[in-house]
Amino acid sequence: MTFPGSPDMKNTSRNVYVIDDDEAMRDSLKFLLESAGFCVQTFATAQRFLDVLRDLAFGCVVSDMRMPGMDGIGLLKRMKAGHSGFPIVIMTGHGDIPLAVEAMKLGAVDFVEKPFEDDHLTIMIETAIRDAEPAARNEAITLDITTRVASLSPREHQVMEGLIAGLSNKLIARQFDISPRTIEVYRANVMTKMQASSLSELVRLAMRAGVVRD
């Protein structure tokens, strides 16, 4: 299972997803982070968060380490297996340094020990988002282009491959034993579906989607 994250990157710099089985802690963190200008959603379990992850815009995950059912380590393993671009900050209890180190090895960007200073956590979250957002944005753009490629019919895909290989309409038509006029129609469809305004842009998009290698 993969968790690519939402292509919608609007307002991503302030999204935080808090996961903690302690209701009082969830409420406290929600109040703190919203006061600091973040848009906060809370989850009582890691599984509930994973269930809706595909529909969430990019943001920082702040998860407790020790929770019933799936703990912080389990969450990190699932996120890593799904190639999620969401940065994860783990909250640990006193004496959980070995677990925190394991969490970092599994991809957590940082950890904070309870009790923690409010400013320290907010700065940590802002840093995590700032560092991870460019890669997540890049992944979202690539996913969008890949979706455009997937919208092409088999024949349109063949025509696109011919175009990016530098073949003329006549040569493509001869290759598939159809008329050049029909190729022109397919070519127009390809340009529209790929949202390309020129052949050079089509080539760049195809390279980005992995249709051709640079």
Q: Is 143 a member of any domain?
A: no
| 74 and 175 inside one domain | no
The total number of structural domains that make up the chain: 2
pTM above 0.85, yes or no: no
Instruction: Quote the pLDDT of residue 117.
Output: 87
| 126 and 156 inside one domain | no
Q: Degrees (nearest 5) of the Cα angle 113, 6, 29?
A: 30
| 85 and 176 inside one domain | no
CATH code of the domain containing 156: 1.10.10.10
The residue range of the domain holding 44 is 12-133
| 89 and 157 inside one domain | no
Instruction: Quote the pLDDT of residue 6.
Output: 42
| 163 and 124 inside one domain | no
Instruction: Quote the pLDDT of residue 1.
Output: 34
Q: Is 118 a member of any domain?
A: yes
Instruction: Quote the pLDDT of residue 10.
Output: 45
C-beta of residue 42 within 8 angstroms of C-beta of residue 33: no
Q: Is 2 a member of any domain?
A: no
Residues of 27-64 as b/e, b for ≥16 C-beta within 10 angstroms? eebbebbeebebebebbbbbeebbeebeebbbbbbbbb
Instruction: Quote the pLDDT of residue 214.
Output: 46
- pLDDT averaged per 10 residues in sequence order, the chain, 214 residues: 41 82 94 95 96 91 92 92 89 79 88 87 92 80 88 94 90 93 94 92 87 60
